[in-house]
Chain A
Amino acid sequence: MSAKQKLSPPPPLGSILSCLALGFALLFAPARARADSLEDAARALARKVAYLLNSREGVSVRVRNLSSLSSDQITSLSQTFERELQSRGHKVSHDDSSPVAVQLTFSENLSGAIEIAELVENGRSRFSFERVTLRAVPPGDPGSQKFTLMQELVWRQESPILDLKFLRPSEQNQQRIAVLSQKELSIYERQETTWALLKSLPIPPSGPQSRTPRGQLFQFSENGNPRLIASFPKLFCSINPVAPLDSPRIECSSDEQKELVGVSFFSAGPYLIDNGAKWDASGTYFTGEIYAESGIRLHIKPFFSAGFLALKSDEPSGLFIAAGIDGRARLLAHSDKELESLVGWGNEITTIHSTCDDVWHILASARKDWTEGDQIAAYQVEEQHIVALDRPVALPGPVLSLGSEQIPSDAEFAGTHDGAIATVRNLKTGEYEAYRISLACNH
């Protein structure tokens, strides 16, 4: 269960993907004399420079970077530029031995990169330009760290990811993931090293949006058949996840009189708990009313996200952690007895079960805002107190949601996806990314 004030995505807009596909593809593809890539631009620029040089004339090349390109990229592009000159018979040097000098500058503006060559000969300068319309800084390598707490990039896309879950293995034992966005629910299947789209189902609009749109994925058994549930604050949708190709369409309801609309569900890792919570009217957080099948079970303080540290909510050992909208994380016993109250945590909390020590752990984001990189730290409960486990892992942007890696279900856990998934907006690229967060055993 998760919700957050921190999410900031570009407006909850409908057709980002189609817009980008339609708009940008058409905008930048046709009929313009533009290089397709930085490398193409470097080659084209070298050809322009070669045109201005005498046959087999040598040049000395100096490089300057005024752009956000990395030094590795600049080195590679410079080499491309020089190779093109050399292929046309021009000797390239990097000292002042040649009477002709080329100052190669990598610059940029709001539209993308501009490569400029200034050819200086006898004190006279001539300029040649090449531009590349890049709409984003190339993404960096997310990398991973050798800590007990591990992170691994699973998915990346341009539109906001509301939730991403690994589905239960299919009969053919193929890995599948479900990616939920505001516009659609997409199911992908692992095929060797890539994810192939099986089906993309449109999500119908459900009235005025929240500035922090959210949605979550669950799985229910319905008459023995699994149903994949996409739950939004004002919408409830379901399909058959086993045979998505056979599902004619996604079934959605926004009728608030129906019991599952406006309600989300608790989980303990990948285990669905038969308790639900109600979204507030804005769809930003949960009101604190906890529901069971029999009706309202108890009231706790309003919260953004929460998780159980036990398989059943009424277990004597059952503990519950919630990130309150007042900035406090609360550890509760039997769901309502407050054991501990903490500040300094972010709005995203989830629980995972570690096979290393057979203990439930808490993962929590840090108290940051949308302008900063975030962190996820691991904690565990010792004698009814929360203690930190390991150094947190750093993420390249704000954590927008945090939940179990495998889809929470009322069926038995099966598979190896026992970690968590954090969706993040990468502040460097503007893209949305999903990271697997897991606890690696040290022994």
Chain B
Amino acid sequence: MSLDPREWMAGAMEAATNEKLAGLIFDRLVLLDNYGRFQPQLATEWIHDAAFKRWQFAIRAGVRFSDGSVLTAEDVEAALQPLLPNGQQITASGSSVVIQSAVDMPDLLEELGSGRFFVYRVQPDATLLGTGPFFVSESRESVKSADKSDSAPSEAPNTPPARSEGKPSHLRFRANEETWSGRPFLDAIDVTLGVPPLRQLFDLQLGKADLVEISPDLMRRAMQDNLRVWSSAPVILYSLRFDEALPAAVGAQLREAVSLSLDRQTMASVLLQKQAEPAAALLPQWLSGYAFLFTMETNIARAREIRAALPANAAGGREPLRLRVDAAGDLPKLLGERVAINVRQAAIPVQVVSRTALHSASTTASSTDATAGLQLFAWHYSTLSPRLELESFASALHLGDPSKGVMSSTDPEQLYAREKRLLDERRVLPLVALPEYVGVGQNVRDWMPARWGEWHLADVWLDLPEPAQAQAGNSNGAGSPANAPTVALPGAKP
């Protein structure tokens, strides 16, 4: 776990968790609201030239970091420059910042309003300060950027405890009284990481936690227990990727055979109990608007024909095709087993291999493992720009022709054509897309996350139980019974 946006990798599942927590302590320049409108955050106004190559953002005056120091345009420049894609240059100019690029940036607001584009200040001791509604730890005012060696939790002050395998770690966020966006209602938020999914469910039921992540395989149980559950739009894509080591001569046909053998509908509706959607596109419908145009055919007979026409020693011939499951958790393993069953139906032997060391999708995508085979990986969408998401995906997985450069158009027709070309190569085969599920305590009010999964905990408050000494209500029907819960005091402690 790292709260340093510079260390997050696009598409990685860990980055999504990091982003949720970082959203408590950092702000972005702009925010996309649930109505599709960009709202000012640290930037109060923005303007761009006709070519969308130069944007100017006016920085909000009087914003202070959690240590009381004032935010400047230079801070914004220093924070965002390491995060911006290659070719985008940010410079401070008075109380504004200017972002320029040689190519047009029509979706710059979508880019800056999501993902890792938080504004922070790096302290001389490498800690990070934010301007957001919370800060880490009661006695700490800043966040240490993650230790470069993950194995050794730092003892230094202001450092969030590192997450060790199998052992929960805790973070305590306290309300920033002077935040520009208004003091949050909650006094503090305790976050425990690494709690097993079933334990999280129990904690929610017992009132030991107010918000928990619910894994898809526990959703049915949560519903049966009448728990309050929220789900995002599909934000996690499970896909297969073919190793680049496959011989080109047989690769295309083998990829087609594997693709035709996959039964995504059964994966989504049976294996994942309708908690997922079959995925035929790289980008989800809510992000691209055209995902419905893609379809994935299942045709076992045709897959067997193709396999039969391949040389006997082709991949999957003499030795089983190796399917590596590179995502953490039980769900990817189940998916991997299901993929293996499908592919074997096309007479292609498959051996499922789980990695003990967990890596992010991006890490594994750049793996140099030359063994011919497949990888099953998870990709967490991290930007609200379909163009940037598609480019991040292609770049991380080495898809497409790099010589053609990065696409700048946000025209859906061109994005569709680009995505279609990537899918037609069949180097990546989307399987299923899943939302994030969150169990919400009955006393949590104003739980208003964005449908793409961003939580807004500064707006949340708790409806605490009514004290026993409360008086009885009237009996003439004007109000509800007196034992209804009372509202928490503003900023009540969770």
Contacts and interface: CB of A to CB of B under 8 A. Distances in A.
Do A and B assemble together?
Answer: yes
Interface of A: 5-6, 8, 10-16, 18-20, 22-24, 26-27, 30-33, 66, 105, 107-112, 114, 116, 118, 127-129, 131, 134-137, 158, 205, 208-213, 282, 284-285, 325-329, 338, 340-345, 347, 367, 369-371, 379, 385-388, 429-430
Per CB-CB distance, the 10 closest pairs between chain A and chain B, nearest first, are A211-B182, A344-B480, A430-B35, A327-B486, A342-B479, A109-B289, A129-B413, A327-B487, A114-B289, A386-B478
A118 B184 contact: no
Interface stretch (B44-52, B268-276, B315-323, B427-435): B44-52
Nearest to A323: B487
Given A110-B286, A369-B445, A66 B470 contact: no
Nearest to A105: B292
Contacts of A118: 293
B45 A23 contact: yes
B478 A379 contact: yes
Given A5-B461, A107-B289, A27 B110 contact: no
Interface of B: 31-41, 44-48, 50-51, 60, 62, 106, 109-110, 177-185, 285-290, 292-293, 384, 386, 410-413, 416, 445-448, 452, 458-459, 461, 463, 466-467, 470-474, 476-482, 484-487, 489-491
B416 A109 contact: no
B234 to A, nearest CB: 13
B413 A136 contact: no
A8 B448 contact: yes
B38 A370 contact: no
A208 B36 contact: no
Contacts of A105: 292
Contacts of A379: 478
Contacts, number: 215
Contact of A208 (B182, B445, B478): B182
A135 B40 contact: no
B69 to A, nearest CB: 15
Contacts of A129: 290, 411-413, 416
A257 B293 CA distance: 66
A158 B36 CA distance: 13
B486 A326 contact: yes
A109 to B, nearest CB: 3
B289 to A, nearest CB: 3
A37 B217 CA distance: 43
Contact of B35 (A137, A284, A343, A385): A137
8 contacts: A11-B40, A135-B37, A158-B37, A205-B62, A282-B183, A327-B484, A328-B486, A342-B473
Given A12-B182, A27-B48, A343 B482 contact: yes
A369 B285 contact: no
Contacts of B446: 6, 8, 369-371
A343 B473 contact: yes
B5 to A, nearest CB: 21
A136 B486 contact: no
A430 B33 contact: yes
A342 B478 contact: yes
Given A31-B50, A114-B290, A341-B471, A388 B477 contact: yes
Nearest to A280: B490
Nearest to A343: B484
Given A105-B292, A107-B290, A387-B478, A10 B36 contact: no
A371 B466 CA distance: 22
B474 A386 contact: yes
A13 B44 contact: yes
Contacts of B290: 107, 114, 116, 129
Contacts of A134: 36
B51 A31 contact: yes
Contacts of A205: 62
Contacts of B62: 205
B39 to A, nearest CB: 5
Contacts of A136: 35-37
A325 B474 contact: no
